[in-house]
Every structure is written in structure tokens, then in C-alpha cells.
Amino acid sequence: MKEKVKIEPIEQHVIDIVRKLRRNKRLRQQDLARILNTSSSFIGNVENVHNPAKYNLKHISRLADYFELSPRFFLPEYSLSEKKELYSYKD
């Protein structure tokens, strides 16, 4: 059994926000890959807890454009490294 890859709380926050948006808009991983000009396997890797792949600022900018949101929407209000107790995600 594979171990969960250690990922920074802020990175997981962004992944969770994007996954939630994708599901709420009924987009497939393939659809998101087209938006980000990447492969659907990359999206699958980002959403897989056993893989260290993650979104970068260019991805966040493209997602903000597509969803007509501010890039700030994808980031937490507070630093998660200092205030980890504030971060909890429920799907």
C-alpha cells in the first residue's frame, strides 16, 4: 500500500478548491486539462494523494480566468503553515 505523499497545507488547500470547483461545475479531469493546457493524467496525479504533482501559479491564473474568479479565491485567507488548525476540508 502506498503512503500518502507529504504536501504542504497550502498546496492541498488549492488542490481541494480546484477539485470542488471542478465537481460543482460537473467538469471531468479531461475538461480541466484542456482549460490548463495540460494532460488529464496530470490532473489525476494532482488529485491523487499518493502523487506529489500540484498546481502552479500559471494554472491558478488560467483557472481564475476560466471560472471568472480572482486568483485570491484559490488561496486561504491566512497562512496555513502558521495556523494549521484553521484548515480543514470536507468534500
What is the arithmetic mean of pLDDT over 79-87? 59
C-alpha cell at 22: 471542478
Banded pLDDT at 1 (limits 50, 70, 90)? low
Its sign, for the CA torsion 60, 62, 66, 70, is positive
In angstroms, the CA 72 to CA 10 distance is 12
- What structural domains and CATH numbers belong to the chain? 9-75 (1.10.260.40)
> pLDDT tens across 11-57, in order?
999 999 999 999 999 999 999 999 999 999 999 999 998 999 999 99
